[in-house]
Structure 1
Amino acid sequence: MDDLGRGFKVAKRVLGHFLRLITRTGHLKSGSADNASAGASAANLEDLLDSSSGAWSIGGLARWPIFDAGAQQADISIAQARFGAAGADYDAVLLSALSEVETTLANYVFTARELDGLRRARADRERAYELALVRYRTKTDALFPALDAGLRLTGLNAEIASREQALLISEINVYRALGGGWQSFETDATKETNP
């Protein structure tokens, strides 16, 4: 899973822990109800409303969690710890993604500068090869220096081709680190042949 996908997962966990935390601390209540009751009791139904009935009662109902206050405080502490841990996970994923982008950009810049230097060197090697050929044709020098200059030019061209390939790979890595989607050619070919 890439860093962006992990970041969304961690952000979802952070939001879930945050909502549980504010619900448990009372900052977000789903609703409350106040209840009350009134009643009377009598031996017979006919005597229920007489003054001679056995008892009358009026009372209210209130819920007050006295004995589970420690458990609620522990739940709040756990929710706060989970919220902090989820935030730390999110920070770690974010820092990892930023580090990957920085590394791939640095590799790209280094490869591009190296390629520029090799291309400048190629102009010098081509000039040296041309001069060696001119000296050979005018019989002022032997064939060996011209062959040596040609060999050096060919080696430099091979190195430039290698660096150009490395630059393309660096571009792909930068694109991927920035969150660009990437599909393999094999997957595309399979989809085309098997609709």
Structure 2
Amino acid sequence: MNKSTINLPENTIFEVLVTTTNNQKPHTKPFGMKIQDKQVVLTLFPNKTLNNIKNNKEFLIQFTLNPLIYTKASLNKLTSKDYQNNNILKEATVILRLKVNKIIEQKNNDKYGENIITTIFSTVTDIKQENIQVPAINRATTKIIELLVDYTRYNYMNSNQKTSYINKIIESENIIRKTGNKNHNKSLNLIKKELNIED
């Protein structure tokens, strides 16, 4: 990887893929990250990604415009075929290697109940660019990412919230099918299959 700086506006949350390792095996999940005081900031609830970061103090952040990779990562469907060497995703366009500077834990109380949230402050040590793509905004991608963000909280939802979420998926389907491509369609189908939503 080549050393560089990341050119993103501060205090803006971007959906990214965070790759950590456990016994040398890659574990990738989508999360929101932001730049704050030239540091990369992640805020995580207790999960495997957080445990891996605490244990290793290093991780990757990967960017891609492919919604299917985000979907497969969310649903634990990524396989070794999705990666190249060094735990880099084949579909990644920019890969950041980060080193943890500071970890802060605090209690959080939201509509899903009381949780511990952990904020991780990290520094970019290397950056690599591959698979150069035009950074175009697509409505179907935006819808898929929004559904995946909600999906991460699905197990904490009550029955009314789950019903509302499923309705949101159904309502989003027309836009996704109309404005997306085969990867958007595969993403939507995977989400629907995971939640047993019939056509």
Do they superpose with TM above 0.5?
Answer: no
Q: Going by fraction, where is strand more abundant, 1 or 2?
A: 2
Q: Going by fraction, where is helix more abundant, 1 or 2?
A: 1
Structure exhibiting the larger radius of gyration computed from Cα positions: 1
* TM-score, normalised relative to structure 1: 0.21
